Amino acid sequence: MTGFEPATLRTQSGCASKLRHIPVGTIVVVTGQTWCMPISDSDDLIATIVATVGSREPACGRTRVVAIDGPSGSGKTCFAERIAERFGATVLHLEDLYRGWHGLESAPPAAVDILASIATDQIGRAPRWDWEHGTTGTDVVIAATDLLIVEGVGAGARVLSPFTNLLLWLDGDETTRQERALARDGDVYGPWWDTWARQEREHFAREGTATRAELHLRID
């Protein structure tokens, strides 16, 4: 997998910088340096990311796959939806595949099943988790497409690497992430924050996700 081409970006201070990596997000940390950039200014950067992925051979049959991983509240879903809205990408949300609050590790194998089918130009299917009733429900159904975004904790698991063209890592300090996550799903998520965070830490330590990601984005 080739690296990103250098890009010229303008920070809020007005200084142009040649980067080996492309920062997108509110607070971006790249190779030890920090740039502040409103998410509303990220369209050109997202376009560059998509163009970079487009320059690579598809890793999943005829489908190019971007994986967006990182702990809860780091902006994975919002970032995935921005790419999808701008470029018509399909999004696979791993939260549809977790088998409940103790089920983080159930999602990567289910995603593999979906991607393996897509790789042979078949329809990918896996049971969707019904969070309200605590059981499986209707299937998640994903067809082969030009660009697929896999987002959620576990999207960067090693078992998904053979199908992935680009792995992004999103992060932020725990206080900010928790505030974001609970503002969205507080009534349901609040009692389970510690349980889920423990699974995240164990998963990321074992998988080495952050160290394998090509691009790191940070919110603070």
In terms of residue numbers, what domain contains 164? 7-219
Residue 172 contacts by C-beta under 8 Å, 6 or more apart in sequence? 27, 73, 74, 75, 180, 218, 219, 220
Instruction: Please state, in angstroms and as integers, the Cα–Cα distance from residue 153 to each residue in 69, 104, 130, 140, following that order.
Output: 5, 7, 18, 17
Is the per-residue pLDDT at 54 higher than 80? yes
Confidence band (pLDDT; 50, 70, 90) for 219?
low
Is 89 inside a domain boundary?
yes
The two structure tokens encoding residue 74: 């780091």
Q: Specify if 1 maps to a domain.
A: no
Would you call 2 helix, strand, or coil by DSSP?
Answer: coil
Question: What is the per-residue pLDDT for 24?
Answer: 38
Number of Cβ atoms within 10 Å of the Cβ of 130: 13
Domain assignment present for 173: yes
> 124 in a domain, yes or no?
yes
Q: Are 114 and 140 in contact (CB under 8 A)?
A: yes
Express each pLDDT in 136-163 by its tens digit: 999 999 999 999 999 999 999 999 999 9
**Type of residue found at 181:** A
Instruction: Tell whether the model's pLDDT for residue 198 goes beyond 60.
Output: yes
Cα separation, 124 vs 99, in Å, equals: 18
Most confident of 64-68, 180-184, 212-216: 64-68
Task: Give me the number of domains the chain comprises.
Answer: 1
Residue 49 within any structural domain of the chain: yes
Query: In this structure, what CATH number is given to the domain that contains residue 41?
Result: 3.40.50.300
Task: Assess if residue 25 is contained within a domain.
Answer: yes
Q: Three-class SS of residue 216?
A: strand
Choose between 183 and 12: higher pLDDT: 183
Distance of CA 23 to the CA centre of its chain: 15
Does some domain include residue 2?
no
Q: How many CA within 13 A on the CB side of residue 109? A: 5
